[in-house]
Amino acid sequence: VESMTSPAGGTALDVLSHVFGYGAFRGEQADIVEHVSAGGDAVVLMPTGGGKSLCYQIPALLREGTGVVVSPLIALMHDQVQALRAAGVRAEYLNSTQTLEERSRVERAYIAGALDILYVAPERLNTPSTRSLLARGEIALFAIDEAHCVSQWGHDFRPDYLALSDLAELWPDVPRIALTATATEATHREITQRLSLGNARHFVASFDRPNIQYRIVPKRDPRAQLVEFIRAEGQDAAGIVYALSRASVERTAEYLVQRGIPALPYHAGLDAHLRAEAQSRFLREDGLVIVATIAFGMGIDKPDVRFVAHIDLPKSVEGYYQETGRAGRDGEPSVAWLAYGLQDVVQQRRMIDDSTADAAHKRQAMQHLDAMLALCETVQCRRVNLLRYFGQDSAPCGNCDTCLEPPAVVDGTIAAQKLLSTVVRLDRERNQRFGAGQLIDILRGKETQRTRQHGHDSLSTWGIGADTSEQRWRGIVRQILAQGLLATRGEYGVLGITEASGDVLRGDRAVQLRDEPEKSPRARATRKA
Ligand code: ADP
Ligand code: ZN
């Protein structure tokens, strides 16, 4: 790398220190910079916070011409360009938020060779006018950021990314570097194929984030649990709380503020200026908690986020990993905390069933969800499970909840049989299907308006689970659902049996369950204090 000099005469290390103010490259940055600066194509898989930007910014500065960066994150382009300019880099962007005058100023600068880096939104890059503009200047390289957006099966698919494959034909001599923090083998393959990167060198960083402690707890009262968690672990620390709905985001932020935890809501339904203010206060202030839908965080560069909490189940392991990856970019100990419950499983299965997507996409969404459930239900190391999902082997980490307090596993075969036979009886004898709540009331022999109305007290399984608390039953139903021994059917989250349930009912298959104490010892201690 040292021998690699820029038109201005600097080496990669000079640029790193003089322009960006850093003393050393991290991980594979040096190799990537050298390879791309020398004109090679690259596919870079690096976790969020790993330092992908420098991998194309420095080669863009070292090579003749302008580095063209394709990024879907239009909202962040302005900030990225400002940051580069502050470092003395001649950077601009082209996207739909600009006026005609602004655009022509940028275009003139590009043609004159007065730009080091030009960010372009993918839909703009694909227009004939942008293509002919690019042909009038000199291109140092193409960087395709968030390259997983090319994956049709992924959660961020952008049709405009598919058209980027012809950059290779139009500019065969311009090196291309595709970068992503999504590392599944399937996505990796798709990026390579769809972006015509067959001759690229591949740089796959470790996805382990050793300073992040993973914790997944059964959901009881998520907001109260969240407050408990923040008071115990994250007092005065900056954190991000993710919730699924806008309403839940606002209620949760309010709840935190009422309990003395400074928090702001953030979701796409809020005014742009409110969102901008939340974002800038989060970057500036210490100890602020942002409660957000997943709209928040893509590209947020705050190194000292001490925790990321989820009060709803993420839809996929990729999403979970990216969101939790926003914690601890500075390498200091941080926590990824998730509360997850029966309702999450029922609700997400139902959302997939009810969606208008075609069968193949539904199957894909179900697989994503199942992988996420497996991570939640595992009694082994969370990190091992997470990294295996990304195709990387590792040893138990000693820094996740299951390593620190290995959950007891109990034989849940009889409980499962009680539950499943109730489902079968209702279905076969009465042609009725119910959700988890009613099933649990039947098992516990709880008289309610609904159990009376349906005469459920005459079922042979009435009250056979009375020795087990409602809380525990909810945990059991959740785990049995997650194990595929129950299925959600139709709109109302009613439960039906699956092929595998038959094996359990016949006694051919044992069911292992996590033993979940009703209250964690930590929670008790905090409450007393
Ligand atoms: P990614 O795009 O992979 O999420 P970024 O490129 O945004 O990561 O980098 C994450 C953070 O790490 C940024 O604050 C960046 O300035 C910093 N960083 C990157 N490379 C280095 C380095 N070699 N030395 C010190 N800090 C670095
Ligand atoms: Zn572990």
pLDDT in tens, 258-273: 999 999 999 989 998 9
Amino acid 109: pLDDT:
97
Lowest-pLDDT range of 5-9, 44-48, 290-294, 396-400: 5-9
Question: Residue of the nearest CA to atom 24 in ligand 1?
Answer: 22
Tokens of 422: 């109730």
Mean pLDDT of all residues in 67-79 = 88
Kindly give the distance from the C-alpha atom of residue 47 to the centroid of ligand 1, in angstroms, as a whole number.
11
Question: Residue of the nearest CA to atom 26 in ligand 1?
Answer: 22
Q: How far apart are CA 451 and CA 445, in angstroms?
A: 9
What is the helix (H) or strand (E) element at residue 319, kind and residue range? helix 317-324
Task: List ligand 1's pocket residues with C-beta within 6 A.
Answer: 22, 25-26, 29, 46, 48-54, 301, 303, 329
Mean pLDDT of all residues in 517-529 = 47
Instruction: Name the residue of 117, 146, 301 whose CB sits within 8 Å of the most ligand 1 atoms, as the mutation to test its pocket.
Output: 301
For residue 242, pLDDT over 90 is answered with yes
Q: What is the dihedral of CA 19, 22, 23, 28, to 10 degrees?
A: -100
* Residue predicted with more confidence, 389 or 217: 217
What mean pLDDT value characterizes the chain?
90
Confidence tier at 523 by pLDDT (50, 70, 90): very low
Amino acid 30: pLDDT:
96
Summarised one tens digit per residue, pLDDT across range 460-517 is 999 999 999 999 999 999 889 888 898 887 666 788 888 889 999 999 999 999 998 7
Strand partners, 202: 43
Query: Looking at this protein, which amino acid is placed at residue 385?
Result: N
Confidence tier at 63 by pLDDT (50, 70, 90): very high
Summarised one tens digit per residue, pLDDT across range 171-220 is 999 999 999 987 778 889 999 999 999 999 999 988 899 999 999 999 99
Amino acid 8: pLDDT:
53
Summarised one tens digit per residue, pLDDT across range 416-439 is 999 999 999 998 888 888 889 999
Question: Residue of the nearest CA to atom 15 in ligand 1?
Answer: 51
Amino acid 322: pLDDT:
86
Q: How far apart are CA 34 and CA 491, in angstroms?
A: 55
Confidence tier at 243 by pLDDT (50, 70, 90): very high
Mean pLDDT of all residues in 380-409 = 91
Kindly give the distance from the C-alpha atom of residue 44 to the centroid of ligand 1, in angstroms, as a whole number.
14
Q: How far apart are CA 483 and CA 498, in angstroms?
A: 11
Kindly give the distance from the C-alpha atom of residue 116 to the centroid of ligand 1, in angstroms, as a whole number.
19
Amino acid 52: pLDDT:
94
Residue 325 Cα: closest atom of ligand 1: 4
| Nearest Cα to Cα of residue 192 among 387, 184, 452 | 184
Question: Residue of the nearest CA to atom 12 in ligand 1?
Answer: 51
Q: Would you put residue 500 in left (φ > 0), alpha (ψ -120 to 50) or beta?
A: alpha
Q: How far apart are CA 50 and CA 203, in angstroms?
A: 12
Residue 25 Cα: closest atom of ligand 1: 23
| Nearest Cα to Cα of residue 112 among 142, 91, 138 | 138
Question: Residue of the nearest CA to atom 19 in ligand 1?
Answer: 51
Q: How far is CA 159 from the centre of its chain?
A: 20
Q: How far apart are CA 14 and CA 52, in angstroms?
A: 18
Amino acid 7: pLDDT:
54
Give me the sheet containing 239-242, strands edge to edge. 212-218, 334-340, 307-310, 239-242, 289-292, 263-266
For residue 330, pLDDT over 80 is answered with yes
Instruction: Name the residue of 20, 29, 177 whose CB sits within 8 Å of the most ligand 1 atoms, as the mutation to test its pocket.
Output: 20
Tokens of 376: 């939640």
* Strand, coil or helix: 336: strand
Q: How far apart are CA 408 and CA 402, in angstroms?
A: 10
Q: What is the 3-state secondary structure (H, E, C) of 369-412?
A: HHHHHHHHHCCCCHHHHHHHHCCCCCCCCCCEHHHHCCCCEEEC
Amino acid 490: pLDDT:
66
For residue 5, pLDDT over 80 is answered with no
Mean pLDDT of all residues in 123-147 = 95
pTM for the structure as a whole: 0.72
Percent of the chain having pLDDT more than 70? 95
For residue 298, pLDDT over 70 is answered with no
Confidence tier at 3 by pLDDT (50, 70, 90): very low
244 contact partners, CB below 8 Å, separation of at least 6: 293, 312
